[in-house]
């Protein structure tokens, strides 16, 4: 069955436009409360990023949950992976994240974690959607849920992150730039790396409700690159607005993307004998990653784009490590969802353990040129069904002659067609990507 409201990462849109309205979100809290009441704790954790609309949506969810008879435990601004972790440790019915991740401040969204800290299965999302079509009711007054605040949530998560780094190692002597995108990691990530011994230069740590992801963070890494070079830092780490993805920069200012982070983590875990199988990437993962892992005898599988699909394939194969080139990295040894801080710590573990720079570690993987062109489309249209688009794809694949890939897909969160072409020749790849994108447009 198709879903009416839920996309690949919860429900997302522009604040004030349906469904990101107070009325809808209150009813969503009620419907979710009815469906997710399974463990008997009758407690749901609510965390958010730093968008100004978070206050309004938090209150709406709180009202809906109360009407369903559930307690709302408010965490305040917290990274998405922290909410997954805390949902498990508090044995809560569910965790709710108010965030639009890497989007601008005027967007927001709602996503859910089940009691075990994983994304909701499709059938649960469908059950919530079915209740949204029903009239909202309210439990008797004596059964209404209360709201509480968990004041030590940040400290709990900081200690968890530090626990994923070996106790016998430290980051003394490393100068690290941390860019928090004026988002949910602003009061957490710098403390994690400082307490492990690093000298931290902070940027993107002054949220005002409107500046989240604005020319900072993992989707705008130029600010991080400039900071690393100006401070002569050993490396830089940028998170997105909700802290579930990262990008890194080596001391020369070169960007280190999710594929390279995934390779460094897989190589290190494989050397230590803790990888536990293979690695899951996505349809967007660079061919060079697959080939480099194969040279080390590490199996590789591709999931559909979206961290929920990476997680599904990891569970199917019984593997532990997967991710996307956008910087979503899942390490099931540590957390149940993508965690930017934890992934960065695993890269630093490899650096400290091998006594090598980030530049040296990433140098083992030479990525193929990959050009991605985003093309907006109107609702109700289907550019991928166009015979002209299909003809140009066939032409491009023939020209690449097996030494590259063409991928067209619809975004799960925006009205975009993503046209990706990958191959050994940068000029050829760029020309073919724009040739196909013209037909899509």
pLDDT confidence of residue 37? 81
Residue 274 located in a structural domain: yes
For 49, the token pair is 């990023």
Residue 90 located in a structural domain: yes
Q: What is the CATH number of the domain that holds 275?
A: 3.40.120.10
Residue 345 located in a structural domain: no
Of the three residues 216, 233, 255, the one that is the final residue of a domain is 255
- Residues 28 and 81 grouped into a single domain: yes
Dihedral sign for Cα 80, 84, 89, 92, please. Answer: positive
- Residues 384 and 407 grouped into a single domain: yes
- Residues 270 and 288 grouped into a single domain: yes
- What's the rounded Cα separation, in Å, for the pair 140 and 69? 8
- Residues 51 and 103 grouped into a single domain: yes
Q: What range defines the domain where residue 187 resides?
A: 157-255
- What's the rounded Cα separation, in Å, for the pair 34 and 39? 12
- Residues 262 and 301 grouped into a single domain: yes
pLDDT confidence of residue 402? 83
Of the three residues 238, 255, 272, the one that is the final residue of a domain is 255
- Based on the number of CB atoms within 10 Å of its own CB, is 166 exposed (0-12), middle (13-18) or buried (19 or more)? exposed
- Residues 24 and 139 grouped into a single domain: yes
Beta bridge partners, 111, equal 97
Strands of 235-239's sheet in order across: 199-203, 175-179, 235-239, 246-250, 255-256
- What's the rounded Cα separation, in Å, for the pair 127 and 267? 41
Residue 212 located in a structural domain: yes
Could you tell me how many helices (H) and strands (E) the chain has, helices first? 14, 18
Average pLDDT of the segment spanning 204-223? 97
Average pLDDT of the segment spanning 206-215? 98
* Residue 1 reports pLDDT greater than 70: no
For 232, the token pair is 């002569």
Q: Any residues with CB less than 8 A from the CB of 281 and at least 6 apart, and which?
A: 259, 262, 289, 290, 300, 301, 302, 303, 310, 322, 323, 324, 325
Scan for tokens 């109107």, then name that residue. 378
- Residues 223 and 95 grouped into a single domain: no
Count of beta carbons in the 10 Å neighbourhood of residue 311 = 21
- Residues 131 and 26 grouped into a single domain: yes
Say if CB 81 and CB 158 are below 8 A apart: no
Annotated binding-site members for Mg(2+): 101, 240, 242, 244
The closest of 97, 316, 313, 315 to 324, measured between CA atoms, is 313
Helices marked H in 357-425 — which ranges? 358-362, 387-400
Residue 346 located in a structural domain: no
Element (H, E) at 89: helix 80-89
- Residues 213 and 241 grouped into a single domain: yes
pTM value > 0.75: yes
**pLDDT tens, 238-247?**
999 999 999 9
Domain count for the chain, please give it. Answer: 4
- Residues 182 and 285 grouped into a single domain: no
**pLDDT tens, 141-178?**
999 999 999 999 999 999 999 999 999 999 999 999 99
Of the three residues 128, 151, 174, the one that is the final residue of a domain is 151
- Residues 38 and 143 grouped into a single domain: yes
**pLDDT tens, 299-327?**
999 999 888 899 999 999 999 999 999 99
């Amino acid at each position: 069955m198709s879903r009416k409201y839920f996309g690949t990462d919860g429900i997302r849109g522009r604040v004030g436009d349906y469904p990101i309205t107070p009325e809808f979100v209150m009813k969503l809290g009620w419907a979710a409360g009815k469906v997710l009441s399974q463990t008997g704790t009758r407690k749901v954790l609510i965390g958010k990023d730093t968008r100004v609309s978070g206050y309004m949506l938090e209150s709406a969810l709180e009202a809906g949950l109360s009407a369903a008879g559930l307690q709302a435990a408010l965490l305040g601004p917290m990274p998405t992976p922290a909410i997954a972790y805390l949902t498990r440790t508090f044995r809560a019915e569910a965790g709710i994240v108010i965030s639009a991740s890497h989007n601008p401040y005027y967007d927001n969204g709602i996503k859910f974690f089940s009691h075990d800290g994983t994304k909701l299965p499709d059938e649960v999302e469908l059950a919530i959607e079915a209740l949204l079509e029903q009239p909202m009711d309210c439990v008797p007054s004596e059964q209404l849920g209360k709201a509480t605040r968990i004041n030590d949530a940040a400290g709990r998560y900081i200690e968890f992150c530090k626990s994923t780094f070996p106790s016998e190692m430290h980051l003394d002597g490393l100068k690290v730039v941390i860019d928090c995108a004026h988002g949910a990691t602003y009061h957490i990530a710098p403390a994690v790396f400082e307490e492990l011994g690093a000298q931290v230069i902070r940027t993107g740590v002054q949220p005002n409700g409107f500046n989240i992801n604005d020319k900072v963070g993992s989707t705008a890494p130029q600010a991080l690159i400039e900071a690393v070079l100006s401070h002569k830092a050993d490396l830089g780490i940028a998170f997105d607005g909700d802290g579930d993805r990262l990008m890194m920069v080596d001391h020369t200012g070169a960007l280190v993307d999710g594929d390279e982070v995934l390779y460094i983590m897989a190589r290190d875990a494989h050397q230590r004998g803790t990888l536990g199988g293979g690695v899951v990437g996505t349809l967007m993962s660079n061919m060079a990653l697959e080939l480099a892992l194969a040279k080390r005898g590490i199996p590789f599988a591709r999931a559909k784009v979206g961290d929920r699909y990476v997680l599904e394939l990891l569970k199917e194969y019984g593997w532990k490590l997967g991710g996307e080139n956008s910087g979503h990295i899942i390490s099931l040894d540590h957390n149940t969802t993508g965690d930017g801080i934890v992934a960065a710590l695993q890269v630093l573990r490899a650096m400290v353990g091998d006594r090598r720079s980030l530049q040296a570690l990433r140098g083992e993987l030479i990525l193929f040129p990959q050009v991605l062109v985003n093309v907006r489309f109107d609702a109700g249209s289907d550019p991928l069904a166009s015979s002209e688009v299909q003809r140009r794809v066939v032409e491009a694949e023939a020209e690449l002659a097996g030494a590259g890939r063409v991928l067209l897909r619809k975004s799960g969160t925006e009205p975009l067609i993503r046209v990706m072409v990958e191959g050994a020749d940068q000029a050829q790849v760029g020309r073919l990507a724009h040739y196909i994108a013209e037909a899509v447009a």
